[in-house]
Structure 1
Amino acid sequence: MGVAVSTAQWQQTSRTAGGLYPAQAPTGRVTGLPTTSGSKPFQLWAQGLFCTERSLAKRLKNNSFYPFTQQQPNVFVLEYYLDTLWKGTLLFFVCLFLVSFGLVSEVQKQETWGFPAYGLGVGLWLMISSLPRRRLVLNHVSGVYHFSIQGRTVCQGPMHLVYVRMALSSDGYGRCFFQLVLCGHKLEPLVLVQLSERYEQMEYLGRHIARKLNINYFDCLATSYRHVVRHRPPGAAFSPGILLRKTGA
């Protein structure tokens, strides 16, 4: 049976029912969650502008649980560093080169050394803020997800708070572009596919990822029959934001 869900009311229902589940865990590791991982020791979240639906399909062909790795049945682990790490590193060394050799110290008799010096500070800040490793665990055995940064717990909660979302944007000519984003409560949004005009392919990939990871999938519209709801917050069956499709329609 299809459902049409209002995402705003879904999030409101999730917050209302949050008292039944731990929305945020104490600092440190949580017992009962896997602590080992078979993923790469250093993995950047470097999707960038070249992450199209075709490249995502190739990754899914090599790993059907992408971007996660299956640690054990019904337990998926994702460990990564933010892609701002290499961006900050590149900005830092470029500005350091400009400052060291004084290439842009003066333009039309005006001192401009402050711009590369400012870039040094921004690049260094991006590097330091991106160094801690992120770890996201989807544990369907326990029915919770767990997100930590450098081993320190940021949040954990029920599985309905993690989902794949189709994001919509448009340009000045009225063309629509779509993104696939892995979202969740207190999680950093991870873009799986950058802007694309191919809605059908994007929807297929989003539904496939959500099905393999056993999480919810939400369409770009707030209220849509194209949502795929596998996990509901307690009491959501009676929420006015969830509308059952009429079988005779």
Structure 2
Amino acid sequence: MLSDNNNDLVTTTTYCCQFTVFHLPLRFRDLVTEHYVFLTKTCITTSPVSTMTIGIFGTWDHQFNATEQALTDKIKNNPCYPFTIVKDVFVLEYLHENIWKGSLLLIASTIGTACYMNMEFGDHHKYTGFLVFSMCLSLWLVCSGAFRRRLVIDHKKKEYRYYIHTHLRHRGPLHQIYIRMIAQKSGQVLLMYKLMLNGYKIEERELSGFSEKYELLECQGRRIATKLNLNYFDYQDTSKRHLVIHRPKIILSANNDRNNPPV
């Protein structure tokens, strides 16, 4: 998702470039427009390469489950993975992972409270606040994750829609949703790669686990993006491996065209 700094950068870039384009002769507009599209797309859809080291909780299943093979099997079973086709649109429905975290925390809090109350303590109120806080936090996680998320990609209308329960949270153009590969360090040198579905004002969604095989994972990511007709971006901000299908539109003023006739 976009940060506030990226939003400000995109807005500032838009105003500056629109002002520049409107006051240039027609023969220079195409060049300025091309650079504006590239800069705007970079601000909207890219993020810095992650340098945070992966912990044991991020790679515990790497040795037991082949990420590439698991993803290949999912694509074979569902060519539109992770979406399904419903009335000529791509639909993805899922529950937020908070519901599982909250459920585990709720079970642990309940067991811990029962054991604590059955133990002989001089002051039973000593740790009561911590147990109550754990119960409240687990209930909040369960309630926040219980509403089903629904992401719809409509190529006929050239937009995507993001719902939580039945409430429409965001509607945006297709250039703001994309498939992206991310990279994180595992140990001192080794890089691990993962495919993500991300976009503006939607929740980031994992498409694969971590893998060392960059080329194979890239091939699968580009295959998914091509099937869904979405943009694909490499983990590096500046890369020739980006697959850009949708670009932001630039609206030029008709009045300015009359004021600046072709030379």
Structure having the higher helix fraction is 2
Higher Rg of the two aligned structures:
2
Say if 2:163 is the partner of 1:148. yes
Normalising by structure 2, we get a TM-score of: 0.67
Q: Which of 166, 173, 178 is equivalent to 1:158? A: 173
| Structure 2 residue identity aligned to 1:131 | A
| Structure 2 residue identity aligned to 1:97 | I
| Cα distance in structure 2, aligned partners of 1:53 and 1:123 | 34
Q: Which of 63, 79, 83 is equivalent to 2:93? A: 79
User: 1:167 — aligned with what?
Assistant: 182
User: 1:55 — aligned with what?
Assistant: 70
Q: Which of 91, 105, 111 is equivalent to 2:105? A: 91
Name the stretch that deviates more: 50-59 or 83-92. 50-59
CA deviation vs aligned residue, 1:61-89 (integer Å, no higher than 9, x gap): 1101111001133x100111112212211
Q: Give the total of aligned pairs.
A: 198
Distance 1:235 1:120, change over 3 A: same
Can you give the 5+ residue segments of structure 2 that lack an aligned partner in the other structure? 1-36, 46-58, 252-263
Shift of 1:184: 0.6
Percent identity for Structure 1 against Structure 2? 37
- Do the aligned residues in 1 keep the contact of 2:44 with 2:176 (CA within 8 Å)? no
Can you give the 5+ residue segments of structure 1 that lack an aligned partner in the other structure? 1-5, 15-47, 237-249
| Cα distance in structure 1, aligned partners of 2:68 and 2:191 | 16
Shift of 1:12: 3.6
| Cα distance in structure 2, aligned partners of 1:78 and 1:161 | 17
Structure having the higher strand fraction is 1
- Match of 2:162, SS? strand
CA deviation vs aligned residue, 1:192-244 (integer Å, no higher than 9, x gap): 112221111210111111011110000000011100111111149xxxxxxxx
Say if 2:140 is the partner of 1:137. no
Name the stretch that deviates more: 189-198 or 141-150. 189-198
- Match of 1:195, SS? coil
| Cα distance in structure 1, aligned partners of 2:110 and 2:98 | 18
- Do the aligned residues in 2 keep the contact of 1:7 with 1:222 (CA within 8 Å)? no
- Match of 2:107, SS? helix
CA deviation vs aligned residue, 1:155-175 (integer Å, no higher than 9, x gap): 111111110000111134121
Q: Which of 215, 224, 230 is equivalent to 1:215? A: 230
- Match of 1:196, SS? coil
Q: Which of 182, 194, 200 is equivalent to 2:215? A: 200
Name the stretch that deviates more: 82-91 or 177-186. 82-91
- Within a 5 Å distance, the mapping from 1:87-126 to structure 2 comes to 87-102=101-116, 111-126=126-141
- Match of 2:144, SS? helix
| Cα distance in structure 2, aligned partners of 1:173 and 1:90 | 33
Normalising by structure 1, we get a TM-score of: 0.70
User: 1:127 — aligned with what?
Assistant: 142
User: 2:243 — aligned with what?
Assistant: 228
User: 1:64 — aligned with what?
Assistant: 79
| Cα distance in structure 2, aligned partners of 1:143 and 1:234 | 12
User: 2:41 — aligned with what?
Assistant: 10
User: 2:200 — aligned with what?
Assistant: 185
| Cα distance in structure 2, aligned partners of 1:13 and 1:176 | 25
| Structure 2 residue identity aligned to 1:64 | P
| Structure 1 residue identity aligned to 2:221 | G
